[in-house]
Every structure is written in C-alpha cells, then in structure tokens.
Structure 1
Amino acid sequence: MKKGLIALIVVLVVIGIMAASVFGSYNSLVSLDEKVNTQWANVESKLQRRFDLIPNLVESVKGAMAQEKEVFTAIADARAKMAGAQGTTQKVEASNELEGALARLLVVVENYPELKSNENVTGLMDELAGTENRISTERDRYNEVVSEYNSTIRKFPKNILAGMFGFEQRPYFEATAGADVAPEVKFD
C-alpha cells in the first residue's frame, strides 16, 4: 500500500510540474503576442500622425505648385488606401505607397525655393520629417518583437502549444519593391 501511495504522489508531482510548465509557456506566448500587438499599435499611432499631417502639408504646398497635380493625386490616392486598409499586410502596403508619394513631394518642394522659404511649408516639412523618423523607429521595434515572437512559437516545445492555441506567425514590416530607388520628379 505504501508503494502505491508513493507512486501516486510521484505521478501527481510529475503531472503538476508538467502542468506548471505548460501554463508558464502559454503565459509567455500570450505576453509575446501582446508585445507584438502593442508595438503594432505604436506603428499605427505614428502612421496616423503622418496621415493627419498630410492634408495640411498638401494644402500649404498646393497654392504654390498647381502644376504638380500628379504628385498630389498620388498622395491623395495613397492616403485613401491607407484609410481603407484592413489588417497588418494591407496597412504595410498602403503605408509604403504613401511613403513613396511623400518622397516625391519632398523632392518637388526641394526644387521650389519659394516653397522652402514659406514658414508653413517649412514647419510642416519638419513635422513630417520627424514623423517619418518616428515611423521608422517604431517599424524597427515592431520587427524586433515580431522576430522574438515568431522564433519563440517555432521552437520546440512551445511550437506544440502555439499550434494548439492558435498562435500564428506575424508578418514583418518590409519595404516594397523599388523602395531602394530614389523617387524621380521631372519638370516638363
């Protein structure tokens, strides 16, 4: 009888240790998932700041640059896509498109000395440049936490728990094709 009781206690202790390990692993996965969500919210916050600045910048520049309708149309279209984007992947694509259109606008502004001397345009350009830097920083941080999360859910034994509880890999924030080429603005 004593041997049976000791065996039962040993089995219960082993089950308890295994359960504690499973709970701890699950909780760490939840924490990492929340880190990714929080960091994505930080990226979206900075994207929203850019989204809010654009109409002011465009309106300030429009008066002096009526002939640059193509740039303004590209910005308006990209901004509309950003507003309607659903999910991380669409938001990344829309953000990259908007970033390209803004880069073309920045090149145009650099080529118009009277715009560079306009205080409103200069102030808005500084705000936009600061916002772009913040977005870049938050994207980098997002990719860091996504890397940590994705590698954790792929490693054994957490990959088993991740599969059981529906933890899936998250997408990285990646540049679009052609992002390494400077925008070209032609004055015809």
Structure 2
Amino acid sequence: MILVWIIGIIVVLVVLAFIYYHNKFVVLGNRIDNSLSQIDVQLRKRADLVPNLVKTVKGYAKHEKGIMKNVTDARKAFLGAKDMKGKVKAGNMMQEALKSIFAIAENYPQLKANENFLHLQQELSAIEDKVAYSRQYYNDSILSYNNATKVFPGVVFAGMYGAKEKEYLKIPTEAKAVPKVDF
C-alpha cells in the first residue's frame, strides 16, 4: 500500500514539473514577444516624429539635402520592414541619421533656438531613452529565457518542448564608436 502511495506521489510530482516548465516557457516567451512589441512601439514613435523634424530643419539647412535624404530613407526602410530584425536595423540607421541632423543644428543658431526644433529634439531624446530601456528589457527577457533552457532540470524540459536558445539584440559596431570631438 505504501508503494502505491509513493508511486502516486512521484507521478503527481512529475506531472506538476511538466506543467510548471511548460507554463514557465510560455510566460518567458510571452515576455520576449511583449518586449519586442515595446521596441516596435518606440521605433514607430520615432519614425512618426521624423517628418516634422525634417520639415523644421529644411527651412534652415537647405543645402544639407544628403543628410535629409538619409533620414527619409531610414524612415522608409523602417516603415517597409517586414520583420522585427529589419525594423531594428532601420531604427539603427535612423538613429545615425538623426545624429547628423543634430550635428547640423550646431551650425545654425536660429535652428537651435527654434521652439519647434527644441521640442522635437526633446521628444526624440525621450524616445531614444525608451528605445534603450526597451532593448535592455528585451535582452533581460532573453537572459531569463536562455537561463531557463540551460539549467537543470529546465534543460530536460526545454528539449522536450522544443525551447531553443534565443538571440540577444546587438548594438551595431558603428553605434559603439566613440564620437570624435574637434576643438
């Protein structure tokens, strides 16, 4: 009789472990999907601000057409991206192009003093902070997921449920470069 109870308890524990790890992988996967969605929201907000910024800067910097084209092309690439990887890549292009616009503003004191430009610059700065936070949250979610799939006994259940290691968002090499400052 005791043997039946022991076997019954073991079966219940095994079933509970299956349920626990299934739910854990689902929850962690949903957190990753949510964090990707948050990155997408912030990148879209930034893309929506770009036309206003370009319009404001165009009036002051008519001969800086190449930079304006880079910003516009980056925005088009973002809006045309089919997957999150493409959106992140286009978002990085846009970030680099926007740096050029703000560098141009240094040459145009009237532009730097323009209230609309200042407002757009502050909004973009706030969005950049949110993008950075969203990317950090995504990578933290990936870390939790990957840890769950690599440690015992999670590694056993990960194999059974087909949960594979996921990739982190990486910063492009050009974004890591320290900007040069000339005095």
Report the TM-score when normalising by structure 1: 0.87
Change (3 A) 1:68 1:139: same
- 1:7 equivalent in structure 2: 3
1:84 maps to 2:80:
yes
Distance 1:58 1:183, change over 3 A: farther
Conserved 8 A contact 1:100-1:183:
no
Matched, 1:45 2:44: no
Q: Which protein has the larger Cα radius of gyration, Structure 1 or Structure 2?
A: 1
Q: In the TM superposition, what is the alpha-carbon distance from 1:12 to its structure 2 partner?
A: 2.6
Which residue type is aligned with residue 95 of structure 2?
E
Q: CA deviation at 1:8?
A: 3.6
Please point out which of 156, 162, 174 is paired with 1:160: 156
Do the aligned residues in 2 keep the contact of 1:71 with 1:101 (CA within 8 Å)?
yes
Q: Cα–Cα, structure 1 residues 23 and 153, in superposed 2: closer, same or farther, change >3 Å? A: same
Show CA shifts across 1:62-114 (max 9, x none). 12111111111111111111112233322221211111111111111122111
Alignment check: 8 A CA contact 1:64 1:115 kept: yes
Amino acid at match of 1:25: Y
Percent of residue pairs bearing the same amino acid type: 31
TM-score of the two chains, using structure 2 as the length reference? 0.89
TM-aligned CA deviation for residue 181 of structure 1: 2.8
1:75 aligns with 2:65: no
Which residue of 82, 86, 90 corresponds with 1:94? Answer: 90
Hey, what's the Cα distance between the residues in 2 that align with 1:92 and 1:154?
27
What amino acid sits opposite 1:72 in the alignment? M
| Displacement of 1:6 | 4.1
Q: Residue 40 of structure 2 contacts residue 84 of structure 2 at CA under 8 Å; is this kept in 1?
A: no
- Aligned equivalents of 2:8 and 2:82: distance in 1? 48
User: Which moved further from structure 2: 157-166 or 105-114?
Assistant: 157-166
Give me the whole-angstrom Cα distance separating, in 2, the residues matched to 1:95 and 1:153: 30
**Cα 1:63/1:72, change in 2 over 3 Å:** same
Conserved 8 A contact 1:103-1:183: no
Matched, 1:127 2:123: yes
Which structure 1 segments of 5+ residues have no match? none
Provide the residue aligned with 2:99 in structure 1. Answer: 103
Structure 1 residue matching 2:15: 3-state secondary structure: helix
Aligned residues: 180
1:3-43 CA distance string (max 9 Å, x none): xx543443232111111111111111111111111122111
Q: Over aligned residue pairs, what C-alpha RMSD do you find?
A: 1.8
